[in-house]
Amino acid sequence: MKPLLPLLVALFLLTGVTHGQDSLFQSKIANIPSKWKDESVVILEYKYNYTYKVSMYSFPTKDERVKIVYYIKDKWGVEEFSRLSLPTHLDDENAWNTTIGTVYKSNGTTYPITRDMLISQRKRIDFSGLRRRSLELNSDENSKLAVPSLDVGDILEIDYASASSDPPGIVYLVNEYPMLHFETTIQVDQYGGTNQLVIKPHFKNFPDVSSSSPQKFSIVLDTVEKYREEILSDNFRRIPYVLMRYDIDRSYPDPRDYSNMSFSSNGPNEELQLFMAREVYLKDHSSESTYAKRILSSLKIKYPKLNDTLAYVKDAYYLYRELIASENLFAGNLYRNSRHFACTMSRVLFQKKIRHQIFLSQPDFFGMPDRYRDFLDREYGIYIPGHDLYLFDPLMVYEAGAVPSYYEGHQHVKFSANKYYKRYRYFWYLWLIPQLGIATSPLTLPPYIVQAVRANKYRKFDLQQGSFPSLPSPSNKIDYEITVKEMNPADHTITFDQQAAYLGKHKSQISERVIRLSRNLLKENNPYRKMLAAQAIPMSNKKETEEELQRIDKRLKDLMKAELSSDGFSVKEVRDYSVTQSNLFDIAQPFTHRFSFTARNLVWSFNDYMVINAGAIIGEQLSIPESESERRKDFYIPYQQQFSYTINIPLPDGYEPANLNEFNTSAETEAGLFTTTAKQEGRKVVIRTFKAYKFRAYDSEKAEDVYQFIREADSFYYKKLILRKKS
């Protein structure tokens, strides 16, 4: 036997790479719950470790280690992982090991996944992120590897380490595949004691965990369901994740050079961020006066005395809006517009001794309750306490007092600028540190500044928390009145006259779209243009030529056609579009427009009957996908809203309605409602429908409340009105 042992050892060594799916994997596979039997891929193990090290004498290092073990269960999974995509640049030999992972075949063999399998290295061109004219463009890297010889039943282990990745920012606790086991560890190994890792777990139905120390966070989860798309939901609000950010380090941003800012760079902690944001504001405030002077001057005649503060504030707001619109102030400039707005308005209000505050907030685009990006992502605005009026940058909204949907109900911070607007003494400290290359770790200067401000009795640290209002559904509504102008059963078309009145967010959306196509709308009946013109400020008063007007008219009709098409109409033609009331300067009044359109496949006559697809006139309704038999995520929509329709269908000579009762339906729950009524009024049929979403967020456990009225509206869409010829 003796001679055999070395041979066996040698054989083992030689075939060391062919141990295949070892017992560890087999036991994991055996533990896959039966409810995942139809999954294409199951993650047996997901490990993510991130370590951040700060040294006094060297640059910070960021070590990232990712290990994911995929179990491929069907042909789709084979296809998916045969073209493995990694969101990084594998060409950098210094940053990547040659071996990125291993394939464990079901037949017992293994082979490595290496950088040699790299097929495509692609940059996604993203010119939109370009902040300054440069040959260097922002781009995402994407590496694609062709993984050979995969088959159903194989296990693919991705295991790589990177020494120079960006901070992760967000670590998601769900995946597009279900995970049998998930664990992550994030830690900061730091020099000194002031830098701090801030970790915020946000999730529902997950254990309530917190970091074990300010420098370390870890979480372990088992049997994690995969992420799934569902209607009426907001991914970032409903996907559990861990948010992390760093305290300030030596590469913290220069607050003055905005163009150099990278949104993925490390930002200071929240309090320091707010403080820096205020310093930047105050710095700008001290220098920005040109536009304020113009506004003050333009309002002199109308307001010899300030007897209506609210009217003055709104006029000042609209004048500012007119200034930037007519002079194209920010064309091609991606600086923080809202800061300019807030500085200018504050100067105007300060001069008129109108009490106000500056608010700072971050848009809720991603539904994140906390932000991880830097302070320059914050938007500035003006709050008038006496009138509870929020004034947002007019590039975001069109009306004084309108709150963008992505700010509704969202938290903000206010500070007063009245007394201390000229003092921004700490700005230069903040600016000097990176300029001089001073390492912050031993000095911890920025935190010191915050502490100094806190201790300074003459400079009140007056940052106050608050939240923007959230509006009920009647505030965001569309009222449609649609009248059948002509029915042509021979070619199955109906021509309609449509009027629609938009309020709230719907008004903002439609007016923005229309204004984008026709700047004329902003010029017509605009008192603020005249006020500015009276001050001899050069204005562009060029009128559209006939050709331009025709082009605009066509675009507006195309816009309506596109909207109708997205609602399921087969549109033949849109005619006579006109904006009847723009009300761009009055938040309480609607934007209204009217037009005619002809749509196909709506009416049929046969024998004594005429069949009208009357339900379809309200447009295609949201339907519940078959895949959503079991709701998982909570519901979320950007804002509450409602829609009403009044549909007038004149009866053709000799015809009477024969099934009006089918058009009287109702479904009402705590979440919303859809009701319809139909009756004959003289020689016409009038159908009225009303749909309201009475929630912004709604619990998934009460899904039927939402589904009920959604289903009713969806079903209504397919109803046909039968007209019968009187004998």
* Category of 332 on φ-ψ map: left (φ > 0), alpha (ψ -120 to 50) or beta: left
Q: Token pair for residue 381? A: 């605005």
> By C-beta, is 143 or 362 nearer to other proteins?
143
Question: Shortest gap between Cβ of 655 and other proteins (angstroms)?
Answer: 11
Distance, CA of 652 to CA of 610 (rounded, Å): 10
> By C-beta, is 378 or 691 nearer to other proteins?
691
Question: Shortest gap between Cβ of 720 and other proteins (angstroms)?
Answer: 6
DSSP character at residue 464: E
> By C-beta, is 232 or 396 nearer to other proteins?
232
> By C-beta, is 269 or 640 nearer to other proteins?
640
> By C-beta, is 417 or 692 nearer to other proteins?
692
Cβ 686 vs Cβ 701: under 8 Å: no
What is the chain's percent helix, strand, coil content, to nearest 5?
30, 30, 40
Q: Token pair for residue 507? A: 């008004």
> By C-beta, is 414 or 477 nearer to other proteins?
477
- Of 118, 87, 116, 113, give the one whose Cα is nearest residue 100: 113
* Category of 223 on φ-ψ map: left (φ > 0), alpha (ψ -120 to 50) or beta: left
Instruction: Kindly report the number of other CB atoms within 10 A of residue 7's CB atom.
Output: 9
Task: Give SS3 for 98.
Answer: coil
Amino acid (one-letter) located at 38: D
> By C-beta, is 202 or 507 nearer to other proteins?
507
Question: Shortest gap between Cβ of 120 and other proteins (angstroms)?
Answer: 5
Question: Shortest gap between Cβ of 444 and other proteins (angstroms)?
Answer: 39
- Of 676, 659, 658, give the one whose Cα is nearest residue 712: 676
Q: What does 670-725 look like in DSSP terms, one character per residue?
A: SSEEEEEEEEEETTEEEEEEEEEE--SEE-GGGHHHHHHHHHHHHHHTT--EEEEE
Q: Token pair for residue 255? A: 């607050």
Question: Shortest gap between Cβ of 690 and other proteins (angstroms)?
Answer: 12
Our measurement of the distance from residue 718's CA atom to the centroid of its chain's CA atoms, rounded to an integer in Å, reads 33
Strand ranges for 503-652 from DSSP E = 570-581, 591-600, 603-606, 609-612, 635-636, 641-650
Question: Shortest gap between Cβ of 477 and other proteins (angstroms)?
Answer: 11
> By C-beta, is 61 or 120 nearer to other proteins?
120
Question: Shortest gap between Cβ of 79 and other proteins (angstroms)?
Answer: 6
> By C-beta, is 354 or 559 nearer to other proteins?
559
Q: Any alpha helices (H) in 288-390, and if so which ranges?
A: 290-298, 309-327, 337-351
Cβ 146 vs Cβ 117: under 8 Å: yes
Cβ 36 vs Cβ 175: under 8 Å: no
> By C-beta, is 53 or 144 nearer to other proteins?
144
Question: Shortest gap between Cβ of 42 and other proteins (angstroms)?
Answer: 12
Question: Shortest gap between Cβ of 226 and other proteins (angstroms)?
Answer: 10
Task: Give SS3 for 610.
Answer: strand
Question: Shortest gap between Cβ of 391 and other proteins (angstroms)?
Answer: 26
Distance, CA of 259 to CA of 336 (rounded, Å): 10
Q: How big is the chain, counted in residues? A: 727
Question: Shortest gap between Cβ of 481 and other proteins (angstroms)?
Answer: 12
- The torsion angles phi and psi of 80, rounded to 5 degrees, stand at -60, -45
DSSP character at residue 263: T
> By C-beta, is 233 or 273 nearer to other proteins?
233
